Chains A and B, each alone.
Chain A
C-alpha cells in the first residue's frame, strides 16, 4: 500500500463559527475524497525545522459540499478548529493562519468512525463541544446524498454562544426532513429552553435519542470525559456496545 502523502493545502476562506472557533476552507489540490467522520493530520513547521502535528476531523460532506450549500470543488476540505487555551496548533490555525497561506496535511485517515449513506440503520449523533465536527460532516453528507435515513443529533455545548454551525443547524433542522437536533447546555441555557443547564443525562438520551430496540448506529464524539460519560449512559440504557462508535478528541474542554 502506498504511503499517505503530505499535501500542501491553501487557506481559501475563513468562517468564524464562535469567538473561539473557526472553519478553515482549504484548497487541497488532488484531494482523493473522504468519508464523513474521517480526519486529517495537519503539520505545522517553524523556520528552524521544528514541527507539530495534530489531528482534525473533516467538517465538509464527502463531496466537498460547502456549509452554505454552494457548490464547492472536489478539492475542498473544511476543518473547524476550536482554540484551546495555550494550544500550540489550535491557536495558530484559529489565529494568525491567514487566507492564501499554505499548510501541510495528509489523509483522509480512519476507516471506523465513518457513516456511509448505504448503511441501513437510524443514526444517533452525540456531540460534546467541538466533537460536533465529524458529525456535521455526516449530516451534510446525508443531505448531499439525498438520504432519508432518520438522524438525531444531541449536541452538548457550554452556552448558546459556543454552538458551532448554529445557523446551519437551525436551517437544516427545518429543511432536512428526518433530521432532529436537540441541545444540552452545560453552563447556561438560553431563555425558554425548557431544560436547565447541566450535563447530559440518561433522561436527555431517552427523550431525544433513539430507543435501543431501534438498533441505531450511534456516533459519540467530543472530549474524553464527555465521550466516556455518554457511552456509559448509552450502554446502561441497553444499547449494544458494538453499535456505539466513539471518537475522543482530547483531555478536557467542550
Chain B
C-alpha cells in the first residue's frame, strides 16, 4: 500500500475486482498517438508476413466470409480506465493461422497510419484475440479502430491495435510504437505492467 494521502477518502469504489490502479468507466475513451485514419473497404487488406517473408493476404470480402465470433470481454486501458462487458464481433486470430506456417514466437501488429505493437504469438491464439469489426452490433467507428482492429482483452488495450493491417512474424521480440516510447513489452494489467521495468 502507498502512503496515505491526507484527507483523501475516494469516491469511485466499486465491488468489482479490477486490475490494480484501474477505475471503472461507462464511457469509451480514446487513446491514439495521432489523427484517426479513414480506410476504404475496397482497398482494405489484412496481411500476415512470416519470418521467411512469405505473405498471406485477406481482402475485406474474404474477412467477412470467415466464421466470426461474438465475444463479451472486459478491457483495460493503460490510461487507467477499465470497461466491463464490451461486446465485439470478429474473426479469431487463430483462424488466419490455419493457412500460415511460422516458427516465430512474436508478432508485430501493424496498422494503417503506421502504428505498431508487439505481442507474443501465444497470446493471439486459442480464443484470446480477434480481428474485430463490430462493436455493440454496429460497424466499428474509425476513432475506435474501424474498420477493423485487434482485440486482445487480456493485455492493456494499446496491444489491441486499431486500424490493424496485419501481423509481421518475428523470431525475437521487438518493441512497437508505445513500447519504444517507454511502455511495457508485454502489458499484463493484472500485474500492472504499464511501463518498461514494471
Give which listed residue, A2, A52, A111, A251, contacts B180 with CB less than 8 A: A111
The stretch of B7-15, B59-67, B91-99, B145-153 that contacts the partner chain? B7-15
Bits for B14-50, please: 1 = Cβ < 8 Å to A, else 0.
0000000101010101111111110000000000000
Interface of B, helix, strand, loop or mixed by DSSP: loop
Q: How far is the CA of A120 from the CA of B20 in the complex (A)?
A: 41
**Are A244 and B35 closer than 8 Å at their CB atoms?**
yes
In angstroms, Cα B161 to Cα A30, docked, is 36
**In contact, A88 and B195 (Cβ under 8 angstroms):** no
Cβ 8 A contact of B178, one of A45, A51, A112, A250: A112
Q: How large is the interface on A (under 10, 10 to 19, 20 to 34, 35 or more residues)?
A: 35 or more
- Bound state CA distance, A44 and B27, in angstroms? 22
Check B5 against A224 for contact (C-beta < 8 Å): no
In the assembled complex, the CB of B82 is this many whole angstroms from the nearest CB of chain A, namely 12
Would you call B182 an interface residue if the criterion is a C-beta within 8 Å of the partner chain's C-beta atoms?
Answer: yes
27 contacts between A and B (CB under 8 A): A2-B197, A3-B198, A4-B195, A43-B2, A43-B21, A44-B8, A45-B1, A45-B4, A45-B8, A47-B9, A49-B1, A52-B23, A92-B7, A96-B8, A97-B5, A101-B5, A101-B6, A111-B180, A111-B181, A228-B36, A241-B34, A241-B37, A245-B33, A248-B29, A250-B29, A251-B25, A251-B27
Q: Which residues does B use to contact A, with CB under 8 Å?
A: 1-13, 21, 23, 25, 27, 29-37, 79-80, 113-114, 143, 177-178, 180-182, 194-198
Known A-B contacts: A46-B9, A53-B80. Give 8 more (CB < 8 A).
Answer: A46-B5, A88-B11, A88-B23, A97-B7, A102-B3, A235-B35, A241-B113, A251-B25
